[in-house]
Amino acid sequence: MVSEAMRQLGAQGNPMRVLFEYGKQREAIVGPENVFDFALGNPSVPPPARVNEVIREIVNGPRADAIHAYTSAAGDLEVRRTIAGSLNRRFQAGCRGEDLFLTAGAAPALCACLKGLCCPGDQFMVITPYFTEYRIFIEGAGAETVEVPAAEGTFLLDIPAIEAALTPRIKGIVINSPNNPSGVVYPRKNLKELGALLRRKGREFGAPIYLISDEPYREVVYDGVEVPWVPHCYENTLVCYSYSKAISLPGERIGYVLVPPSMEEHDAVYQAVAGAGRCTGHINAPSLFQQVAAACDGMVSDLTAYTVNRNLLYNSLTEMGFTCVKPEGTFYLMMKSPEPDAAAFSQRAKELDLLFPDTGSFSCPGYVRIAYCVPTSRVEQSLPRFRQLAEQYGLQGK
């Protein structure tokens, strides 16, 4: 007998991955050039050249033995101090190596925070649309998920809606900016308003309301848009970061939790994160990539292709008559379904071998998400299919 809840999770699979697997099968039948897979956020641009040089230097260097060894559970202290130094230079974070807990990417960082914070009966708030796995991570930590929609039209934080949903049972909120799937970046004013609300409500309830800021796309932004340092807007923020997207290392599995010095009961929160890691089998983040992260923190892959793709897709799709949210960051574009049932729209696109999921699994019906982290040639070649789709819906192109 197995856990029925876990069996179901394993059997379902994530809808993006299901589509991606379908794409592979379809490619075998009609040829890869005829399938346009916009399902997964798998970066297509290579890591900065320096990343590979650093790997070579470490592998051939005097401490090569250490790259295979266990490190401290929280990560090598020198590595953490180097990353903290980079955060202090770039964001005036005022943090120490001892405030960082290195993880195998943002997903385990989120799980460690949630499991470390949640007590029986707690709830955690998420803002719709949100990364599909949050609900699974929250429920895995024994808490309940409370959904609050983002502001209509802008997809920013809707402060009055958040206030209306806050109760003493809400242990914290997960936010994600730049946002997957909307591509929106929360401006400083919006974050400061959230901080002021959480501070006021925390005082009223007699317990801090924690903010988990999930930031795997922190550096993936366009037109120089500012991504504010969230702990400067609210002191009780835990930052979850990943090197998966900005330097294109999703398979290497490296990221961190930062518990900033401003956190109330800092040491207890940090220990709870570490304890939750222990409880889920974390031993240490991959040793080699801890060192790579230290040497490469703050670097960004060449985002030219994503910028070109964003402009090409946004301009072409809106010209065809589709309604899109213009992404300020990430490599996702949200497009409104021209029929009320976005799953049916996604299915119709699939019949043209255009693969993108509807945003029902992001708890935001009525849209689809197009992951444009693909070579620009693929976006160019897909446009006639999008035009065909627009024609099927009788959209009025310009």
Work out how close the CB of 388 gets to ligand PLP at its nearest, in angstroms, rounded to a whole number: 29
Give the C-alpha separation, 235 to 205, whole Å.
Answer: 17
Rg (CA), the chain: 21
Based on the shown chain and the rule CB under 6 A, indicate whether residue 357 belongs to the binding site for ligand PLP: no
What is the per-residue binding string for ligand PLP in 270-309, x denoting contact by CB under 6 A?
----------------------------------------
Pick the closest to residue 110 from 154, 141, 88 (CA basis): 141
Residue 106 sits in the site that holds ligand PLP (CB under 6 A):
yes
Q: Is 215 exposed, middle or buried (0-12, 13-18, 19+ CB in 10 A)?
A: buried
Query: Parallel, antiparallel, or unpaired for β 354-355 and 100-103?
Result: unpaired
**Helix locations, 206-337, DSSP H:** 266-279, 287-296, 304-320
248 binds ligand PLP (CB under 6 A): no
Q: Which is nearer to ligand PLP, 257 or 354 (CB)?
A: 257
Q: Does 359 bind ligand PLP (CB under 6 A)?
A: no
The minimum distance between CB 41 and ligand PLP, in angstroms, equals: 5
Task: Tell me if 47 contacts ligand PLP by CB under 6 A.
Answer: no
Q: Is the dihedral of CA 284, 287, 291, 297 positive or negative?
A: negative
CB 98 within 8 A of CB 80: yes
Which range binds ligand PLP by CB under 6 A, 57-65, 101-109, 314-322, 340-348? 101-109
- For the chain, the 3-state helix, strand and coil shares in percent, each to the nearest 5, are 45, 15, 40
- Beta-carbon contacts of residue 160 (< 8 Å; ≥ 6 apart): none
Q: CA torsion angle for 69, 72, 76, 77 (degrees, to 10)? A: -150
By CB under 6 A, tell whether 244 contacts ligand PLP. yes
Residue 398 burial (C-beta neighbours within 10 Å; 0-12, 13-18, 19+)? exposed
Among 47, 105, 228, 277, binds ligand PLP (CB under 6 A): 105
Q: Please state the closest distance from residue 71 (CB atom) to ligand PLP, in A.
A: 19
**CA–CA dist 135, 124 (Å, integer):** 9
- Only one of the segments 77-85, 99-107, 140-148, 346-354 lies at the binding site for ligand PLP (rule: CB under 6 A); that segment is 99-107
Q: Report, in Å, the least distance between residue 325 CB and ligand PLP.
A: 16
Cα four-point dihedral sign 374, 378, 383, 388 = negative
- CB of 178 vs ligand PLP, minimal distance in Å: 9
Q: Which residue in the block uniquely carries the two structure tokens 């796995």?
A: 133
> Which of 48, 85, 94, 250 contacts ligand PLP by CB under 6 A?
250
Calpha distance 123→120 (Å, rounded):
9
Which of 213, 242, 337, 346 binds ligand PLP (CB under 6 A)? It is 242
How is residue 65 written in tokens? 């033995």
Q: Which three-class secondary structure state does DSSP give residue 11? A: helix
The binder of ligand PLP chosen from 83, 93, 100, 107 (CB under 6 A): 107
The nearest distance, CB 327 to ligand PLP, in angstroms, is: 13
Between 325 and 390, CB nearer to ligand PLP: 325
Q: Does 185 bind ligand PLP (CB under 6 A)?
A: no
Q: Report if residue 180 touches ligand PLP, rule: CB under 6 A.
A: yes
Q: Which is nearer to ligand PLP, 129 or 231 (CB)?
A: 129
| In the complex, least distance from residue 1 CB atom to ligand PLP, rounded to whole angstroms | 31
329 touches ligand PLP by CB under 6 A: no
Verify binding: residue 131, ligand PLP, rule CB under 6 A: yes
Does 41 bind ligand PLP (CB under 6 A)? Our answer is yes
The verdict on 71 binding ligand PLP (CB under 6 A) reads no
Matching residue, tokens 């592998």: 59
198 to 217, contacts with ligand PLP by CB under 6 A? 214, 216
* H or E segment and range at residue 332: strand 332-336
Measured from the CB of residue 100, what is the shortest distance to ligand PLP in angstroms?
A: 15
Q: Determine contact, residues 19/132, Cβ cutoff 8 Å.
A: no
Query: What is the contact surface with ligand PLP in residues (CB under 6 A)?
Result: 41, 105-107, 131, 176, 180, 214, 216, 242, 244, 250, 255
